[in-house]
Structure 1
Amino acid sequence: MRSRRGPGRKTGVAAAVALLCAGAAAPAAPVDVRPGPGAGQDHVTVRTDTGRVRGVRTARHRLFQGIPYAGPPKGAYRWAAPRPVAPWRGVRDTTRPGPLCPQVPSPYAQVASEEEDCLVLNVTTPARVRRPAPVLVWIHGDGSVGGGSFFDARRLADRGLVVVTVNYRLGVFGGFAHPGLKGSGTFALQDQQAALRWVRRNAGAFGGDAGNVTVAGSSYGASAITAHLTSPGARGLFHRAVLSSGEGMMDMPAGTMGPGVPGYPWFVWRQGREMADISAEMTSSLGCAADGPARTLRCLRALPVKKILEVPFIMNAFQAFAYGNETLPDLPPRALRAGRFQHVPVLSGATRDEHRTFVGLQYDAVGKPFTQAHYGQSLATAFGENAERVRARYPLSQFPSPAIAWSAVVTDRMWARGTHAQHTALARRVPLYAYEFADRNAPMYLPLPGRFDFGAYHAGDTPYLFEEAAAQQRFTAAQRWLSATMTSQWAAFARTGTPNGPRLPAWRPYRNADARPYTQSLAPDRIAPVDYAAEHALEFWHRLP
């Protein structure tokens, strides 16, 4: 029997996922390093398997933008598996960012697009590649806004990597599910796998090593990589994985993502039937109710992108992945615990103050203070009869404000507990290097109002790896050192499967057998081990029913 939800339930789903990956999407504009007068830039041409592409070459880098890796998912191909690119004659210009996939502006990313011919990627390399170079493929976060061209990979390329950043279908275009529709709820994952197959075929043309590919992502992008670790379609497409602030083994107590948002056993995984129910609810106002699923689907595929985007919450309601299908047969947490995943080295971590981003967005950014009364209500909603036990462990007297106290509770209960569970599962089978990004003065690069103390916020480590002017112009000397060190360690991991290297801080593997499994704390004044379980009160949370 299919579940039936009233409007409040649907709005709760949308509200939950609307904040799912805020902050991991993008800066305000795509990277654009086209040749300019006196800029010391010229063009360079490379032959791919579908035709030649012309990019930009400077003294230090080569950059190719907007290379198609799959055909346009338009018309009858909307909500279908990605299809091959039609070869072209001549030389395709790839000196400018390609089109973004359909999206609407959000409070943290004022970008929009109605273009479905958007399955493109970008390649950044050193000017002179030492062949064969390790390849790093970046899957951006959020899932409803953003694009690969927002991530300037030149710093990573300076470390000898060939870096590929990817567009994929977002929101309803990537996660729509429908009775009888093959691939329901997994089109974003299928796009990412198509991009990885493109890398396997074409990495060598750019100086990269198709036999040494690292897939990396933050937030929703990291959760997607958790899916790829367990997906049959991704088998053999990558050889290492980097997960930053992923939600792959995270649950969601009621109210933790905002008042009225229900609890869920998993944060990003939904059964295919549930995704189909959500899809039906979110598209019910589009006038496509018809006799039979096939006619409804034909009607929805014929609608203009603009009309679909006008449905409230329709992009945010699909920041989750459907399982129980060909692309994702098993629930990923279950597969990880059973060892049914690709056994590749993993670099994985979270930020120290993950949930401050979401509390700041919900309250401070809209001028609505989070009070002592809100704290009590939130504890009662999330923890019921255990609320007072949690209050005793996190008394308001220990925090500068109720908002920071609630952020600490949810960071520890939801984010740190989920991160620890995933590390435990992975470390049973593969080499794992764990970290915590702990720079509590990390510059906020998102255009958020208010004066909230975001601390070491969700996705706050991204500008330390990719060029981001809004953040880096405010870096201190110590933060520049941290950025350089992190970039070198990520590059070392992509090259060898370990983040260790000459003149880099020592980093031991995470081992479950250790009394305190090794987690590297990354801060401007300290790169050293941290007792992650003690810092986030995990023994308390494991004892709590």
Structure 2
Amino acid sequence: MTGDVRSFQGIPFAAPPTGDLRWRPPQPAARWREPLDATKPRGICAQLPSFGPGELQNEDCLYLNVTTPKRTHRPLPVMVWFHGGAFTSGAASMYDPVKLVTQGDVIVVTVAYRLGPLGFLATPDLTAEAGNQSGNYGLQDQLAGLRWVRRNAAAFGGNPGNVTIFGESAGAASVCDMIVSPLARGLFHKAIGQSFSCDANTSTPEAAYAAGAELSGKVGCTDLACLRATPVKELLEAWPGGFPVVGGRELPLQPPDAIRQDKYNHVPLVWGSNLDEMRLFVGLQYDGAGNPVTAQQYEQITRETFGPAADEVLARYPVGDYASPSVALATWQTDAPGPLSTCSHLNSYKLFTVKPFPVPVYAYQFTDRTAPPIVDWPGFDEGAAHAFELNYIWNPLFGPPLSERQEALSKAMVGYWTSFAHTGNPNDRGLPEWKSYKSDDDVQDLGLGTLRPTNPAVGSNCAFWAGLRR
């Protein structure tokens, strides 16, 4: 117990997925009779160095962490967090939920899940072994975590009938997947997604099998016994990347198709993106490597991307209109269709609100361009880039402390998030009104100015992108 919260860390929700359990659905955790030491997190899932905690080779990682108010006088809403990290990195234990718990009077559960090849490898042999499309072990872990919450929430003062799932980046992609997964039905009642559009498709079996074949070739394996005996580090280094795979019991349909066909779990949504999503990735690839984008490179990349339509894009995004060619590149990358795109997010809101089966959607755009950066590259304006809103929801994960004005924005965002967890509506006394999404004019601007509706479709040229023919 610390301050105004109680914290229970490192609770096993499934058996260690090691040995013969590598690439199998999560199995029940062993029961224990002696008191469990829940004073510190347990091992983090295997991953290579990135923004996460560094290189780790640990497979015994299916643990979750529960944080509650110091005193609970009634069953409280439970918020279950799936972390981001491109399905290859990150950790549930990185996120300190004290802001959410103390200000919002909620219980927060952060759930680990298998990453990289251990979570998302697909091969025909694995599919045949399971009798189900392979490649979704990480999603199966998340589902196991939600089932644990349903069974155990009441013991921590939570209401198993009022569960909100939320996540950022790959965590928000996971939330999309839970929304359309038949296996998640009844396990949650509200959902929040930060910076990933449910308008985006996930991996096909063909693409997933190609990645699996590439990994198998690199490690010199032709059967599952060889793969299961391969050291973790070799698998991590051979992994070409991958995502959850469509076509099995977890994801029968691509997420946007499931939503269009009304084959999804109808729950209220809070969903949004950041004003400058792609500046993080341009910074990582170019400025952070000491090679800022040049004007010539900007034109070359644009032409390689858009072919005959490049002249239209260059005319709409002239390099001289931006602080640098790197910023110019990140701007059209943020606007053009893609999983992190502003315009794709707006398209997804329309999917969810189309009649005859709409769900309530509260859409936002995070716009604080003074937000503490994950990495501060000299000479590059990171703006309101991907993941920069995280410090406003959680105790700071990176960068300098928030300023007084930023703390005020943080308080408002935590208020919106937790009010939504309580009632399915982010509005509460003392907070500026947040309208439900009916049109692109109803996106809440979460910035340092007055919190109010805005229309991101205008600034992101969404009509232009919708009409562009490549």
TM-score by length of 1: 0.82
The separation in 2 between residues aligned to 1:317 and 1:310, in whole angstroms, is 10
The separation in 2 between residues aligned to 1:302 and 1:395, in whole angstroms, is 53
The separation in 2 between residues aligned to 1:494 and 1:236, in whole angstroms, is 16
After superposition, the C-alpha distances for 1:24-60 in whole angstroms (9 at most, x for unaligned) are xxxxxxxxxxxxxxxxxxxxxxxxxxxxxxxxx1340
The residue type equivalent to 2:110 in the other structure is T
Task: Pick from 497, 507, 511 the counterpart of residue 424 of structure 2.
Answer: 497
Kindly indicate whether residue 69 of structure 2 is the aligned counterpart of residue 140 of structure 1.
Answer: no
> Which secondary structure state, in structure 1, belongs to the residue aligned with residue 280 of structure 2?
helix
The separation in 2 between residues aligned to 1:394 and 1:192, in whole angstroms, is 40
Deviates more, 1:135-144 or 1:525-534: 525-534
Determine if contact 1:109/1:447 at 8 Å carries over to the other structure. Answer: no
Residue 387 of structure 1 corresponds to which residue in structure 2? 310
Task: Pick from 407, 417, 438 the counterpart of residue 343 of structure 2.
Answer: 417
The residue type equivalent to 1:532 in the other structure is P
The residue type equivalent to 2:346 in the other structure is H
> Which secondary structure state, in structure 1, belongs to the residue aligned with residue 270 of structure 2?
strand
Kindly indicate whether residue 463 of structure 2 is the aligned counterpart of residue 535 of structure 1.
Answer: no
The separation in 2 between residues aligned to 1:375 and 1:451, in whole angstroms, is 17
Residue 175 of structure 2 corresponds to which residue in structure 1? 225
Determine if contact 2:441/2:453 at 8 Å carries over to the other structure. Answer: no
Structure 1 vs Structure 2 CA RMSD: 1.4
Task: Pick from 94, 101, 104 the counterpart of residue 157 of structure 1.
Answer: 101
Kindly indicate whether residue 121 of structure 2 is the aligned counterpart of residue 176 of structure 1.
Answer: yes
Task: Pick from 294, 301, 317 the counterpart of residue 378 of structure 1.
Answer: 301
The residue type equivalent to 1:186 in the other structure is N
The separation in 1 between residues aligned to 2:61 and 2:142, in whole angstroms, is 13
For structure 2, which runs of at least 5 residues remain unmatched after alignment?
Answer: none
Residue 245 of structure 2 corresponds to which residue in structure 1? 322
Task: Pick from 419, 439, 443 the counterpart of residue 372 of structure 2.
Answer: 443
Q: How does 1:326-475 map to 2 (within 5 A)?
A: 326-414=249-337, 415-428=341-354, 429-444=358-373, 446-447=374-375, 449-468=377-396, 470-471=398-399, 473-475=400-402
Residue 520 of structure 1 corresponds to which residue in structure 2? 444
Deviation, 1:304, is: 2.3
Deviation, 1:447, is: 4.4
Determine if contact 1:219/1:247 at 8 Å carries over to the other structure. Answer: no
User: Kindly tell me: are residues 336 and 89 of structure 1, through their superposed partners in 2, closer, same or farther at Cα, counting changes over 3 Å?
Assistant: same
The separation in 1 between residues aligned to 2:285 and 2:28, in whole angstroms, is 42
The separation in 2 between residues aligned to 1:447 and 1:144, in whole angstroms, is 19
Kindly indicate whether residue 4 of structure 2 is the aligned counterpart of residue 73 of structure 1.
Answer: no
Deviation, 1:89, is: 1.0
Deviates more, 1:393-402 or 1:475-484: 393-402
Task: Pick from 117, 122, 125 the counterpart of residue 65 of structure 2.
Answer: 122
> Which secondary structure state, in structure 2, belongs to the residue aligned with residue 329 of structure 1?
coil
Deviation, 1:338, is: 2.0
Q: How does 1:154-303 map to 2 (within 5 A)?
A: 154-158=98-102, 159-181=104-126, 182=130, 183-250=133-200, 266=201, 269-289=202-222, 296-303=223-230
User: Kindly tell me: are residues 317 and 450 of structure 1, through their superposed partners in 2, closer, same or farther at Cα, counting changes over 3 Å?
Assistant: farther
The separation in 2 between residues aligned to 1:134 and 1:217, in whole angstroms, is 16
The separation in 2 between residues aligned to 1:448 and 1:63, in whole angstroms, is 32
The residue type equivalent to 1:195 in the other structure is G
The separation in 1 between residues aligned to 2:315 and 2:269, in whole angstroms, is 36
The separation in 1 between residues aligned to 2:26 and 2:53, in whole angstroms, is 27
* Percent identical residues: 41
The residue type equivalent to 1:430 in the other structure is V
User: Kindly tell me: are residues 332 and 469 of structure 1, through their superposed partners in 2, closer, same or farther at Cα, counting changes over 3 Å?
Assistant: closer
The residue type equivalent to 2:99 in the other structure is R
Residue 36 of structure 1 corresponds to which residue in structure 2? none
Deviation, 1:70, is: 0.6
Aligned residues: 456
Determine if contact 2:45/2:59 at 8 Å carries over to the other structure. Answer: yes
TM-score by length of 2: 0.94
Determine if contact 1:71/1:85 at 8 Å carries over to the other structure. Answer: yes
Please list every run of at least 4 consecutive aligned residues from structure 1 whose deviation after the TM superposition is greater than 2 angstroms.
Answer: 306-311, 446-451
The separation in 1 between residues aligned to 2:278 and 2:37, in whole angstroms, is 42
Deviation, 1:539, is: 1.0
